[in-house]
Amino acid sequence: MKEISFMLNDEPRNVQVEPNEILLDVLRNKLGIKSPKCGCERGDCGACTVLLDGKAVRSCLILAVEVENHNITTLEGISRAKLSALQEAFMEFNSFQCGYCAPGIILAVTELLEKNPHPSLEEIKESIAGNLCRCTGYTPIFDAIMSLTGKGTK
Amino acid sequence: MSLAHEFAYYKPLRLEEALSLKQQYGNKANILAGGTDLIVNIREGVLKPDLLIDIKRIKELSQLNWGNDTLFIGSNVTFAELIENEVVQKNFVLLHDACKTIGSTGIRARATLTGNICSAVPSLDSAPALLCYEAMIHCAGTGSKREIPVREWFLSPRKTALQEDEIVTGISIKRIPDSYGIYIKLGRYSGEDLAQAGWGILMIGDKQYRFAHCALSPIPKRAYHIEDLCNGNSLNADLIEKAIALIPSEINPITDIRCTQKYRMYISEIMLRRGLMAIQKRSSGKYIEPRKLMGDV
Ligand code: FES
Ligand code: FES
Give pLDDT, residue B284: 87
For residues A62 and A93, membership in a common domain is answered with: no
CA-to-CA distance for B98 and A50, rounded, in angstroms?
A: 25
For residues A7 and A74, membership in a common domain is answered with: yes
Q: What is the pLDDT of residues B106-144, one digit of tens each?
A: 999 999 999 999 998 888 999 999 999 999 999 999 999
For residues A100 and A60, membership in a common domain is answered with: no
For residues A67 and A130, membership in a common domain is answered with: no
For residues A67 and A16, membership in a common domain is answered with: yes
Q: How many CB atoms lie within 10 A of CB B191?
A: 16
- Determine the structural domain holding residue A40 and report its residue range: 2-78
Q: Specify the 3-state DSSP secondary structure of B174.
A: strand
* Contact by Cβ (8 Å): B53, A65: no
Cross-chain Cβ contact B2/A18 below 8 Å: yes
Establish if A152 belongs to a structural domain.
no
pLDDT in tens, chain A (154 residues): 899 999 999 999 999 999 999 999 999 999 999 999 999 999 999 999 999 999 999 999 999 999 999 999 999 999 999 999 999 999 999 999 999 999 999 999 999 999 999 999 999 999 999 999 999 999 999 999 999 997 655 4
**Fold match between B8-54 and B179-288?**
no
In ligand 1, which atom is closest to the CA atom of B106? Answer: 3
For residues A72 and A94, membership in a common domain is answered with: no
Number of domains chain A is built from: 2
* Contact by Cβ (8 Å): A51, A23: no
- CB-closest option in A20, A42, A57 to B2: A20
Of A78, A112, A133, the residue that ends a domain is A78
For residues A73 and A16, membership in a common domain is answered with: yes
For residues A74 and A91, membership in a common domain is answered with: no
**Chain A residues touching residue B107 (CB < 8 angstroms):** 43, 58, 130
Q: What is the pLDDT of residues B17-59, one digit of tens each?
A: 999 999 999 999 999 999 999 999 999 999 999 999 999 999 9
Could you tell me what percentage of chain A is helix, strand and coil, using 3-state DSSP and rounding each to the nearest 5? 35, 20, 45
Q: Report the CATH number at residue A109.
A: 1.10.150.120
The more confident residue out of B191 and B147 is: B147
CATH topology of domain B8-54: 3.30.43
Per-residue three-class SS string for B136-167: EEEEEECCEEEEEEHHHCEEECCEECCCCCCE
Q: What is the mean pLDDT of residues B208-215?
A: 95
CA-to-CA distance for A15 and A34, rounded, in angstroms?
A: 16
Structure ipTM: 0.95
Of A38, A54, A78, the residue that ends a domain is A78
CB environment B40-55: b (16+ within 10 A), e (fewer): bbbbeeebebebbbbb
Establish if A154 belongs to a structural domain.
no
Q: Is A86 in the pocket of ligand 1 (CB under 6 A)?
A: no
Q: Is A46 in the pocket of ligand 1 (CB under 6 A)?
A: yes
For residues A18 and A74, membership in a common domain is answered with: yes
Q: Is A136 in the pocket of ligand 2 (CB under 6 A)?
A: yes
Give pLDDT, residue B262: 92
For residues A70 and A15, membership in a common domain is answered with: yes
* Contact by Cβ (8 Å): B170, B113: no
Cross-chain Cβ contact A61/B104 below 8 Å: no
Q: Is A91 in the pocket of ligand 2 (CB under 6 A)?
A: no
Q: Which amino acid is at A51?
A: L
B61 pLDDT more than 60: yes
B192 pLDDT more than 70: no
**Chain A residues touching residue B6 (CB < 8 angstroms):** 18-20
Give pLDDT, residue A154: 47
Q: What is the pLDDT of residues A24-62, one digit of tens each?
A: 999 999 999 999 999 999 999 999 999 999 999 999 999
For residues A48 and A94, membership in a common domain is answered with: no
For residues A63 and A96, membership in a common domain is answered with: no
| B208 phi/psi in degrees, rounded to 5 | -120, 145
Distance B166 CA to ligand 1 centre (A): 31
Size (chain B), residues:
297
Cross-chain Cβ contact B3/A65 below 8 Å: no
pLDDT category of residue B190 using cuts at 50, 70 and 90: low
CATH topology of domain B179-288: Enolase-like; domain 1 (3.30.390)
Q: What is the sign of the dihedral through the CA atoms of B230, B235, B236 and B240?
A: positive
Mean of per-residue pLDDT scores for chain B: 94
Q: Report the CATH number at residue A50.
A: 3.10.20.30
pLDDT category of residue B225 using cuts at 50, 70 and 90: very high
| Domain ranges (residues) in chain B | 8-54, 179-288
